[in-house]
Structure 1
Amino acid sequence: MDDGTDAEYLAYVNGRVTALRRFAFLLCGDGHQTDDLLQETFTKLYARWPRICRVENVDAYVHTMIVRSFLDEKRRGWWRVGLFDSAPDRPTPEPAGFEEQTVVRAALSQVPPRQQAVLVLRFLCDKPVDEVAQILGCSPGTVKSQTSHGLNKLRRILGDRIPATNGEGGWR
C-alpha cells in the first residue's frame, strides 16, 4: 500500500491493540493463543485495509474477524501442527486474587466455542444482542438461544462456585 493507507492502518492498530488484545484474551483465555489470533487478524486486516478503512464501524468488523479466527481455530481440532520438539516452559503462575477469574475461565473453556464467543461478547464485552448477531453472522434469536444454552452449561459446570457479578456484565 503506497497511497497513505499504511499510516492509517498503523494508527488504527496502535490505537486499538490493547482493547483488541483484551477482547481476544477473553475469547480464548490463553496469552499465546491471543497473540496468534491478533497476528492472524492484523495480517488479514492489513491485506484488506484499503477496503476495510471505508467501513462504517471498523471495530465491529475487526471483532468479527477475531471471533471468526477463534472459531476456525477451535474447528481445526487435534490435527494442528506442533512447532516444538519438546513441551514449552510452563507459564508463570497467576498472581494471587484471580481465583474467580480462573474458575470462570476454566468453565468457559468447557463451553462449546460458539456459545463461548456469545457469552464473552454479551457479558464480558457488554455487546448488545444485535451487535453480537452481526459479529457472528447469525440472527438475534440465535444469539439469545446460544446465550441461554451457554449460561445453562456454565451453571452445570460451576454449580455452587458461581462468582458474583458486578452488575455491569463483568465479575468482581
Structure 2
Amino acid sequence: MDRNAGFRAFVDAHQRSLLRLAYLLTGEEHLAEDLVQSVLVRMIARWPRLRHIDKLDLYARKAMMNQYISWRRKRSSDEVPTADPPERSHWPEDSAVLRIALRQALMRLTPKQRAVLVLRFFEDRTERDVADLLGCSVGTVKSQTHHALARLRALAPELAPNLPVMGLKETHR
C-alpha cells in the first residue's frame, strides 16, 4: 500500500488553488511555485500526523501565509527601492491596465496587508477565517484591511472606483 497516496490526492485536489493564492501573494509565477513547493515539502514530511486533520486545505493555506510572511521579512532587508512607476494617466482604462496597476500596488503593501486583502477579497474569506489563517484577531484583520485599502488608493488612485468601500456590510462578513 502506498503511504503517500493520500498526500498525492490532496495535492491533486488543491494544487491549483494553492498556486493561485501564492501568485496573488508573491506576484511572481516562479516565486509562487517555490512557495507552494516549500509548503508541500514540509507537509509531506509531517504527513503521518497531518493526514487526520479535517480541513487540511486551511492548514496548507495557513502554512503558506506563515512561509510567505517569513520570506518577505528575510527579503525586505535585501530589497533596493526603485524609481516610481511611469505616469499612468495617458493609458486607456481597461481591465488589463487595472490588473497591472493592482499588481504593482499590491507588491508595495506590507506582507500582512497583502495577505489580508488577498484572503478577504480574492479568496472571499470571512474576517474570522482570515484571522484564523494569519493567527491574529478579527480586529487586526479589520484594521489591516482598512489600512491596506487606503494605501492602495494612495498608490494607485485609478483603482479607487474598483476597490471595496469598508462599511458595515463588509465588516460583518
Indicate the TM-score class for this superposition, using the shorter chain for normalisation: 0.7 to 0.9
After TM superposition, the structure 1 = structure 2 runs for residues 7-156 of structure 1, keeping only pairs within 5 Å, are 7-77=5-75, 98-156=96-154
TM-score of the superposition, structure 1-length normalised? 0.80
Q: Residue type matched to 1:101 in 2? A: R
Structure 2: distance between partners of 1:4 and 1:156 = 53
Task: Please tell me whether the aligned partners of residues 105 and 155 of structure 2 are also in contact (alpha carbons under 8 angstroms).
Answer: yes
For each residue in 1:105-134, what CA deviation from the matched residue of structure 2 results, as whole angstroms up to 9, or x when unmatched?
Answer: 100011111011001100111010001001
For each residue in 1:87-122, what CA deviation from the matched residue of structure 2 results, as whole angstroms up to 9, or x when unmatched?
Answer: xxxxxxxxx962211110100011111011001100
1:87 is matched with none
Task: Please tell me whether the aligned partners of residues 121 and 127 of structure 1 are also in contact (alpha carbons under 8 angstroms).
Answer: yes
Task: Please tell me whether the aligned partners of residues 5 and 49 of structure 1 are also in contact (alpha carbons under 8 angstroms).
Answer: no
Structure 1: distance between partners of 2:161 and 2:97 = 10
Task: Please tell me whether the aligned partners of residues 149 and 163 of structure 2 are also in contact (alpha carbons under 8 angstroms).
Answer: no
Give me the CA root mean square deviation.
Answer: 2.1
Q: 1:161 to 1:19 in 2, by over 3 A?
A: closer
Structure 2: distance between partners of 1:4 and 1:31 = 31
TM-score of the superposition, structure 2-length normalised? 0.80
1:160 to 143, 146, 158: 158
- Note the residue ranges of structure 1 that are not aligned, 5 or more in a row: 81-95
Task: Please tell me whether the aligned partners of residues 116 and 150 of structure 1 are also in contact (alpha carbons under 8 angstroms).
Answer: yes
- Note the residue ranges of structure 2 that are not aligned, 5 or more in a row: 79-93, 165-169
Shift of 1:165: 6.1
Farther-moved stretch of structure 1 (27-36 vs 155-164) = 155-164
For each residue in 1:1-54, what CA deviation from the matched residue of structure 2 results, as whole angstroms up to 9, or x when unmatched?
Answer: xx7440000011012111111111111110011011011011001011111121
Task: Please tell me whether the aligned partners of residues 100 and 163 of structure 1 are also in contact (alpha carbons under 8 angstroms).
Answer: no
Structure 2: distance between partners of 1:161 and 1:78 = 26
Q: Residue type matched to 2:162 in 1? A: A
